[in-house]
Each structure stands twice: as structure tokens, then as C-alpha cells.
Structure 1
Amino acid sequence: MAKFVSIYEKPLPHIGLPDWYSKQWELRRSADIRRAEACQLRNSGKSVRAEGNVTTKWDTHTNNTRLADRVTEVSRWKDALEDLLQKLLDEMRLLRDEKADTEKEIENIDHPLRIVSECISIRDCRRGTELTYDEADIELKKELCAIANVKETFTNRSQAAWEKLNHLEDVKFKLSLDIEDKSETIRIDKGNLELDGICANLSYKPITEKTNSITYEIWLDRCQRLKMLVENELTDNYTFREAMRVMKECARNDIKAQQDATDYTLRKRIYQTQKARNEMEWQKLKVQKEMEVLGKEIIQLEEALMNKTGVVKCVETRLENRAYRPGSELCKDEVELGLKGEVLQLKQTKEDLIQIIEHAKASYNSLEALLRRIQKNLDDKQHSLNTDVMCLDTRSTLKGDKSDLSNETNRNIVLTHLKKEIPLES
């Protein structure tokens, strides 16, 4: 270049063409990366937004379903408790009526008591040798004692009925309070079920855990306990009322037929002995059958225990063979873990089988001892049954009425319902 030519350039370092291409490539690569990241971010945002919408929708639907199910459950419990409350009110009404009838019986029993006292006083006016303790005097005093005892029993039962009514009032209060709580709960849950995102009076609320809140299991247990309490009270009250009714009937029968008390007790005892003997025979058959089944089960358990021996040997042999794998192949893979687990499981199974066999044999021995006791009890009941029948036959001369049967023994057999035990002679 000629010396007189002037070249004007910026006083900055210039780059070469390869560097220029390198800068272009770097910018293009950066743009591609940033666009890819932006695209991925947009796709992630769409996914999160769609997933959030779906999750929110299904969570709301699930909670609405739970609220509806909860309302249904509480409503069912409320209906069940209301039904029990109605039954409880009916039982209380019947118990009040029974108590009133008992108090009326107490008032009515004063008249025969006064009559018996008068009879005793009149007979006490006898003079001389006629003033004796004869059978009539003894029977009158027995009747007086019986009536006094009946009156005292009626009074105690009336007092017990009053206490029972007070207890039922407490149960009724608890039941009514629980029904009111469930009604309020149903109202609150139904109100929550009607709420959605566009309802009025919605705001952020602090999520706090109530200190007196209980778990669902405790709530369900309380409901079941309350239901069981009321059902037990209903059963006890029914039994109590029936006992009062039976007591009054027995008292009337005792006053009207005091002479037949001993014979009635004997017939009743024969019936009870017969029933108990039949029960013992049934128990004997059941125990024998159970012993037979248990014996077969013991044999099967022992066979099962013997069968486990070969399986244990097989598994332990597999483990021993795998211990000789060469090099890095000797690893604790799933097969080895499974085989070791199988060994432990088989050992546990054998221990369980041994324990069950021991328990079964002990139970078999217990059943065998029980069978001997039942057989001895059957012999004693049969002897008692024969003795009571003989007692009735011996006391047959005390009866004022006669039966159309051929003899008194057959008559006692019919009275005690022993036709199947001792067949009548043809």
C-alpha cells in the first residue's frame, strides 16, 4: 500500500470471521435454548393449571360425597335412636302402669289381711281345751304370713319400679340430648353441603383443631354404646315388668292354693330335672361329636406337620446349593431373600402347628374329662327324677280330686309330663 494512503479505523480490536461465525452460532443456540425452556415452562404451566382444576373439582366432589354420606349416616343413627326413644317411652309408660297396678294390689291386699287377722282373733277366743294349735290355726297363720310376705314383696317391687323409672329418665335424657346433637349436626352438614364457591358470606377462616374434638372411631363407639345401653335397658325393663307380673300371679296362686304349694314345687322340680337331663344328654352327644371331629383334626394337623418336613428340607437345600454360586454371582437377589423368607415362614408354620396340636390335645383331654362329668351328672339326675316321681306317688293320698287314670302313678306321670320318659301301661 502506498505510504500516502490514509486508513481510518476505530481504535478497537477487531475480530476475525471465524469468531464472528462463532458469536452467531452462540446467539442462535442461546435463543433456541431459551425458546425451548419457555415452551417447556408454558406446557408445565398448562399441565399444573389443568391438574389443579381437575384436583380441585374432584376434591370438591369427594368432600360433597363424604358430607352426603355423613349426613346419611348420622340420619340413620338419629332415626335408630329416635325409634329406641319411642320404645323407651312405651316401656316407661308400661312400667308406670305396672307400678300403678302393683300399688292397687297393695291396697286390695289389706282386706284379706284384715279378714285373716279377724279369723285368728275370733279363734283365739276359744276357751278351755278347744284353744289348741290345730291344723286350721296353723293354716291361718301360714296364710297370714304369706299375705304379709306378699304385701312386703309388692312394696319392695313398687319401690324398685320407682327407682327403675328414675334410671330410665336418666337414660331418656341422655338419648334425647344425643338425638338433639345429631339433629344439629345434620343441619350444619346439610348447610355445608349447599355451599359452593359462589355463595355469599364466604371468607377465609383460620383452620384450628378443636380441643374437645374426638376421632370417628370414638364417636362410632359412643353411638354404639348408647344404642347398646338403651337396648339393654329396654330388655331389663321388659324382664322387670314380666317379673312383676309373674310375681303377682304367683302371689295370687300362693294365697288361693297354699295347700298345693309342695306338690307344685315337686312337679316343677321334676320338669326342671327332666329338662336339665335332656340338656345334659344333648351336651353329651355334642361333646362326643366334637371329640370325634377334634380327634380327626389332630390327625390332620400331625399329617400337615409331617408334610412340612420335606418342604423345609427342599428350601434349605436350595439355599445351600445357591451358596456355591461363583464370583459376583453370589449375591443376595430376590430368589435368596424369598427362599430365606420361605424358611422363616415354614419354621413359624411348624411352630404354629405344634402349638395348635398341643392345644387341641389339651382340649381333647378336657372334653374327655367333661364327658365323664356329664355322664355322672346324668346318672344323678335320673336318680333324682325317679325319687321325685316316687314322692308324688307317695303324696297322692293328700289330693282331694281323683283322675280317670287307672292308678296314681300314671296320674303323676301325666301331671309331670313324663309320658316320653315312662310310657303308660296299655
Structure 2
Amino acid sequence: MSVITYEKPTARLSLADWFTKQWTERQANEATGADAFVLRHDARQLRNETRIRTDWDTRLNDARLADRVTETDHWRQRLEACAARIDGEMALLADEKFSTEKQIDAMSIPFNVMSECISMRDNRLPAELTNDDADAELKKELCVAENRKRALIERCHAAWEKINKLNEVRFKLSVDIGDKREAIEIDANQLATHKNCAEISHKLDPLRIVKGSHSHATWLEHSRQLKQAADDELADTLKLREALFVARERARNDMAAQRDRVDFVLRRRIFETQKARNEAEWQRAKTGDEMAKLEREIAALEEALRDKMAAAKLAETRLENRSYRPGFELATDEPERGLKEEVLRLRQTAGELRDKIDCAKTTYNALEERMVAIDHDLAGKNQSMTTDVRCLDLRARLRQGEFAGPPTQTDRNIQLTRMEKEIPAE
């Protein structure tokens, strides 16, 4: 050969295959272009839809934030009005509490007089230390004063508790008002924030449920309950202030009525003491007879107890001796059951007799004490009358000073209707 040629050692394509390959590539390019066109159309549509949806979502959330700020501010104003009312009621209630405490302090004079009267009457001879009407009325007067003082103290304590509750509600209102103010500020700041602000950024987990968060219904119910609690406390405060005034007036009236009752009973007791001497002598004779009869009855009971103890010893001895029967003779027979029942009945009877003896001895001791008291009583009548007269003189202090009352009925009406501030000063 004149020329040496070199060819690749690969298979050659036929012309038909080459044309087929070109047609296949053209079809693939056209399909890819069509897919790209559809993708660009879908992308454009998606961009438009997402832009519109995002704009509307932002507008709606701005409206929601604005409504939320308005709602929160509305509740803040209502709670601030409640807080102002609570401050006023607390001041009025504190004044009523101070007036009640002042009257409680003034009650020391009646208590001193009552204590001196009771102590003075307690200095009577032992025979005259009886539970008469004067003692009962004096103690009743002390109970009335104690009850009225206790009622005033309870009212003061109730007022103190009410002030504490009002302070607690006021504190809750202050906290809630502060929270609402802070929430309004935060929501207002968020309302003013837009997508071109510099301080916005992606957050780690913005869709998380924040710990301690509540639903809107829970928030609304909490605000309503707080407002209702404040209204309830304010309604109770007015009733409590009226109750404090009523308690003070009732204390004055009850103590005045009981004071007159005690004075009357003391005067009647002085008259009755003169008649009590014969009654005491008759009681002494009667008590002596009862003591003698009771002494004989105690001796009879002790004799009956000794008889029952002997019978019990007999029954227990029989039971113990029958326990030594041999073999099958040691049977639970009728005699054994009868002896056991007898022992139980004797023990019960002995217990009843001992109880009755103790009761009889207690009664005898009481009669003996009464006999001694009657003997001393006969020697102390004159001293008792002198003591009661001195008590009447001492009780004149209860009609002076703070407890003398208004000088005229007009002054009393002015005091009851609280018209002092309406009447101009002279």
C-alpha cells in the first residue's frame, strides 16, 4: 500500500443510527424546555400567591395585635378603676377600725369596776360566798362586756382581715395592671415592627408552646374573676363598716342595760340577805338529817359489798378446785358454767356497789362542805350587806366620763346619724 491509515478499534455507527440519535436528542431537549416552561409558570404563580398571602397574613395579624392592645387597655382601665375604689374603701374601713379600737380601749374602766365589785363581794365571809342573783348579774355583766368586747375585737379582726384581703386584691390588681401595661407595650412594639426593621431575625424555635402560656379564654376568665373579686370585696367592705358601727352602739346599749340590771339586783340582794338567816338555819338542820341518813346508807352498802366478796371467794374456790378433776372427768358441765356465770355476776355486782359507795361518799362530802358553808354564812350576813352597799357606791363610776352618754337626746341623734360633719362649727 502506498499510504498507511490508522482507525480506532471501535464499532462504527450506521448513518441511520446517527440520524436516530439526533432525533432522540432533539426530542429530549424539547421535553426539557417544556418542563422548564411549566416550572417557570408555576414558580411565577407561587411567588404571586405567597406574596399576596403573606401580605394579608401580616395585615390580619396587625389588626389582631391592634384589637388585642385595645382589649388589654380596656381591661387595664377597668382594673385601675377598681384599684382606686379599693384605696378609698380601705381608708374608710381603717377609720371605722380605729374608732372601734378606741372604744375597746375605753372599756377598761367598766372592766376595772366589775373586777373590783366581784373582788369586793368575794371578800365576804365564806358563809356568804353564795351564787346569788347579784353574783350572777355581775358575772353576766362581765360576760356581756366580754361578749361585746369580743364582738368588737372580732369586728376589728374582721376589718383587719378585710384590709388584708383588700391589700391582697389590690396587690393582685397592681400586678395584673403592671402585666397588662407591659403586655400593651410589647404588643404595641410588635405592631410597629415591620419586615424591614433591623432588629428582626430568625429564632431557634418560634413555634414552641411557651411555658406558662394560657389560652385567651383563660386570660379573659382571669381578668373577669379578678374584677369580680374586687367588686365582691368592695361590697363586703360597706357591710363591714356598717357592722362596726352597729357593734359599737350595741355594746353601749347592752352594757347600759346590764348596768341598770346589776344595780337593781344588788339593792334587792341587800334586802334579801336579811331574810336569808332563817333559811340558812333551816338548811343546816335539813342538811344534818341528810348526812345522817346517807352515813347509814353508806354503811349498809359496805356491808353488802363484803357479803358479795365472800360469795365471790366461794364461787372462785369451787371453780379452782374442780379444775383438778382427772382425765375425761375434766368436762365443761353445767356446774362449771353456772359457777362462771355466778363469778361474773358477783364481779359486776361488786363493781356497781363500789360505784354507788363512791357516789354516796362524794355526796356525803358535799353535804359536809355545805354544812360548813352554812355555819359560816350565818356569821357573815352583816358583812355581806356592807359589801353590797360599797359595790353600789363603786358602780357610780360607770355613769361618768366616756360611758355617761350624750347630755341630750338631740346630741344622741346627731351622734347616731353621724351629722357632726354637716353641722357648722360655732
TM-score by length of 2: 0.47
Q: Which has the higher contact order (CA 8 A, sep 6+)?
A: 2
TM-score by length of 1: 0.47
